[in-house]
Amino acid sequence: MFAERKTRVLIVDDSAIVRKILSESLAPEPDIEVVGTAPDPYVARDKILSLRPDVLTLDIEMPRMDGLTFLKKLMHFHAMPVVVISSLAQASCRVALEALEWGAVEVLAKPGGPYSVGELRQTLAAKIRAAAAAHPRRPPAESASQAPERTISSAAHSPQAVLAIGASTGGTEAIAAVLARMPACAPGILIAQHIPPEFSRAFAARLNDHCAMQVKEAADGDKLRPGLALVAPGDLHMVLRRAAAGYFVNVKTGPRVCYQRPSVDVLFQSVAEAAGVHAVGVLLTGMGADGAQGLLKMRQSGARTIAQNEATCVVFGMPREAIKLGAAEEVLSLDAVAAAALAPRRGPAMS
């Protein structure tokens, strides 16, 4: 029998130390091979042509040509899966998220800070595998934030209505596409996106700049209300609670679920318990199975449930697992999700 082909990785970073750390972190992985490294985009360009890697890791701040400029050229002429590796400085976070708009499929914090070497090994390998499974798409002439979708007109919803959204690989742009269609009066929204600490704050700020709704990174005790979307902070779980005064969220640490924190399963299960028939659950693109069990719990509680279809997913992992469980009432293209989430229920809930 032939051995399974390894995922070939090219590491692009101006720091020799970072190149060494990343290479050593991937060395023990039996299904991943680092085929080369490059200190800048000009060297990377030649090595992409000669080595034909499956996945590129890309630093943002580099001499001669910055990573974002290189990414735009790469996705135009030679689209391929790219994992952006960036510092946690707010300016770098914003540029890394812009890189996701331009076709990168994953973002990861640079070694150091909150990331131990051991955690980096597990996280980097998972990001590489997710990127290798992704379907990279050339970005449109204008990014989503430059040309937002027209919002959907919506009748007033009950203050008890809640929309919960979960995503992973490819999710930042998928979530942006859904929220760009939401009117300012939309029901309160809770978002669990697999994203590193600090990047979640920049992600929420970017959504807030381009959506009719108010969007913010969730803080413990925040009250959920119509017109507000709360993004789970990176490396923390977010759960919905119900009190006499309405809904609020708890933001907390805890064990990873499906290797993730924040976990979509944790969010969805809490929404099933707190909101039940008043909730809508939406599971978007992502690698793995996080969110599938939670979406099933939501459907069993009487909530409406939606999964993104394969054709529009960057990675059809999480939605596929939910569909296999019978957790999704509807399987829709990304451009149909927002309208369906706001539409009145058709037919009875799952018994």
The verdict on residue 147 lying in a domain is: no
Q: What CATH number is attached to the domain comprising 298?
A: 3.40.50.180
Count of CB atoms situated within 10 Å of the CB of 24: 13
Q: Name the catalytic one among 194, 200, 237, 263.
A: 194
Say yes or no: 115 and 175 in one domain: no
The verdict on residue 121 lying in a domain is: yes
Say yes or no: 37 and 169 in one domain: no
Q: Which residues, 6 or more positions from 155, have their beta carbon under 8 angstroms from its beta carbon?
A: none
State the pLDDT at residue 267: 98
Say yes or no: 224 and 311 in one domain: yes
Say yes or no: 126 and 190 in one domain: no
* Res. 287: pLDDT tops 60: yes
Q: Name the catalytic one among 25, 168, 200, 263.
A: 168
Taking the C-alpha atoms of residue 166 and residue 19, their distance in angstroms, rounded to an integer, is 32
State the pLDDT at residue 219: 98
Say yes or no: 175 and 302 in one domain: yes
The verdict on residue 2 lying in a domain is: no
Say yes or no: 124 and 16 in one domain: yes
Say yes or no: 62 and 128 in one domain: yes
Say yes or no: 181 and 296 in one domain: yes
The verdict on residue 269 lying in a domain is: yes
Say yes or no: 208 and 262 in one domain: yes
Q: What percent of the chain has pLDDT over 70?
A: 89
The total number of structural domains that make up the chain: 2
Mean pLDDT, residues 98-113:
85
Q: Which domain holds residue 276?
A: 162-342
Q: Name the catalytic one among 40, 54, 265, 290.
A: 290
* Res. 167: pLDDT tops 70: yes
Active site residue 290: yes
Taking the C-alpha atoms of residue 118 and residue 130, their distance in angstroms, rounded to an integer, is 19
* Res. 110: pLDDT tops 70: yes
Q: What CATH number is attached to the domain comprising 58?
A: 3.40.50.2300
Taking the C-alpha atoms of residue 22 and residue 160, their distance in angstroms, rounded to an integer, is 47
* Res. 320: pLDDT tops 60: yes
Higher pLDDT, 272 or 112: 272
How high is the mean pLDDT of the chain?
90
pLDDT band, very low/low/confident/very high, at 145 (cuts 50, 70, 90): very low
The verdict on residue 351 lying in a domain is: no
* Res. 76: pLDDT tops 60: yes
